[in-house]
Amino acid sequence: MALLVVNPTSRAGVDILGEMQAADVLGDTWANTGTEFVIVQAGPYGPVVVTLDITRTVDGQPVTDRTVNIPTGDMMAIGPFSTADYGTLSKVTYDDESDVSIGLFKVGT
């Protein structure tokens, strides 16, 4: 499992593709402050379903994790993630990490 490093955005711009990395086979994690978002790009050979772990419970029952379907070749920004729902160490996994890229970003420094 890889720990993602946050990339701040700015008015000067950020090289999104340059900050992307290959998705880890076991999933990726990050230190969540509630201001981050991930950008996930599916490869050219098929779609990907990303699953974001929700750590919250309601009446002692776990809440269903959040899934996002990304079509073949598409890129999606997902987030931000509240610490109450996603915890302070957030996790994303993939149904197939082949040819999937991910980057972690936040607004500002």
Q: Which residues contact 72 (CB under 8 A, 6 or more apart)?
A: 42, 43, 44, 45, 46, 47
**Model's pTM, two decimal places?**
0.92
Per-residue pLDDT of the chain (109 residues), as tens digits, is 899 999 999 899 999 999 999 999 999 999 999 999 999 999 999 999 999 999 999 999 999 999 999 999 999 999 999 999 999 999 999 999 999 999 999 987 5
Per-domain residue ranges for the chain? 2-107
What's the CATH architecture for 2-107? Sandwich (2.60)
- Please compute Rg for the chain using Cα positions: 14
